[in-house]
Amino acid sequence: AQKITQTQPGMFVQEKEAVTLDCTYDTSDQSYGLFWYKQPSSGEMIFLIYQGSYDEQNATEGRYSLNFQKARKSANLVISASQLGDSAMYFCAMRVPAAGGTSYGKLTFGQGTILTVHP
Amino acid sequence: DTGVSQDPRHKITKRGQNVTFRCDPISEHNRLYWYRQTLGQGPEFLTYFQNEAQLEKSRLLSDRFSAERPKGSFSTLEIQRTEQGDSAMYLCASSAGDRVGQPQHFGDGTRLSIL
């Protein structure tokens, strides 16, 4: 079964600095997808960035980049130039093929990391 | 572009009562997912639909839980004979397809509190 581990319950960063949120995963599937979501205190889950297992380049979306190290099974999120509005819970999630098929279904989430940005 | 809509936002009920939640996905999204999130934890998968077909149910979904998507558009999640342990945020998400990189877009959730 697939598993996502986020070992940092909480992280603090100074405004305008960069921060890395750790994520390791475990799956026996060769094809899979890795996602990061942001959940502010208001509760909505916001999709940030995606990395496919066969993608050779690390994904980037604006200030977000994903440091993908396949051999180490890690998919760390890097947020550059942190802003006060980045304070939130961040979840790493994985998607693997549904049983018996080539389609993809549910997401499996880690426990999350609370990021606090200080002015 | 209207996002995923969930109703109600909050539900407070007594133990033993039945509750029903509704989710309206992004229009033309054929996939619809339900997750449950307890305080300080990541969302846990409950079930998902492709159009009106329920493709997978988690073992978390006991006999007291039932979900439907009768016309392949909105979905309902019903919990019968609620228990204290059902208190959680119930999240709905939708996606446009089943490709690995297709992101799931979430609604704001329904927070259920059992008295």
Q: What is the pLDDT of residues A22-36, one digit of tens each?
A: 999 999 999 999 999
Residues of A in contact with B105 (CB under 8 A): 47
Residue A65 pLDDT > 90: yes
Could B42 and A32 be called an inter-chain contact, meaning their C-beta atoms sit closer than 8 Å?
no
| Amino acid sitting at position B16 | G
pLDDT for B98 equals 84
Is A32 within 8 Å of A50 (Cβ atoms)? no
Q: Which of residues 15-44 of B touch A (CB under 8 A)?
A: 31, 33, 35, 40-44
A27 in contact with chain B, both atoms CB, cutoff 8 A: no
- With beta carbons under 8 A apart, name residues in chain B contacting A103: 98
Chain A interface test: which of B104, B111, B112 (most A C-beta within 10 Å): B104
CB contact under 8 A, A105 and B100: no
Tell me, yes or no, if B12 comes closer than 8 A to chain A by beta carbon.
Answer: no
End-to-end Cα spacing for chain B? 37
Asked if B45's CB is within 8 angstroms of A106's CB, the reply is yes
Identify the closest residue of chain A to B95 by CA–CA distance: A105
Q: Band of the pLDDT at A21, cuts 50, 70, 90?
A: very high
Tell me the average pLDDT across A71-95: 97
Is residue B84 a contact partner of residue B15, using CB atoms and an 8 Å limit?
yes
Point out which residues pair with A37 in neighbouring strands: A47, A91
Residue A54 confidence (pLDDT): 95
B106 with A44: Cβ contact below 8 A: yes
Torsion angle in degrees (nearest 10) through CA of A87, A78, B36, A45: 60
Inter-chain residue contact B42 with A50, CB threshold 8 Å: no
Tens digit of each residue's pLDDT (9 = 90 or more) over A87-100 = 999 999 999 988 76
- Burial bucket for residue A63 (CB in 10 Å: 0-12, 13-18, 19+): middle
